[in-house]
Amino acid sequence: MLLSTDIWVGALIRRAELGGAFAMVARKGDPRAGAVLVKAVDRRANTARLYSEATRGDGERFWMQPVRSAFEPDLDAYAERAARIDPDIWVIEIEDREGRHFLTEPVEAEPS
């Protein structure tokens, strides 16, 4: 049984807060089955990364970086375009001194 998106998002936010980060829902999507984008912001370096959930052919869930930029406005523009295409999408923002994303599933290597 899969968790509903709203419960999964709540757990991610709680994990980030327990780790000393600030996390919030920037855009609320479908509570049951909305896709999720996670923006991890590193305030010390003034950079950010965007993570999008994906599923491998074997059904394993992982996260990938759909944007090759660490410039926050580029990431926000991608999230806005994604929301126009998929109105059920969630956008979670995590601000952390180390830029951690707090995702527990595998994360694909950063694009070069």
- pLDDT tens per residue, range 62-91: 999 999 899 999 999 999 999 999 999 999
Question: What's this model's pTM, rounded to 2 decimal places?
Answer: 0.92
Structure tokens at 87: 């109105």
CA distance linking residue 99 with residue 110, whole number of Å: 13
**Domain 5-96, CATH homologous superfamily name and number:** Protein of unknown function (DUF1491) (3.40.1530.20)
Residue found under tokens 């984008």: 37
Name the band, by pLDDT with cuts 50, 70 and 90, for residue 21.
very high
Q: For residue 3, what pLDDT is reported?
A: 84
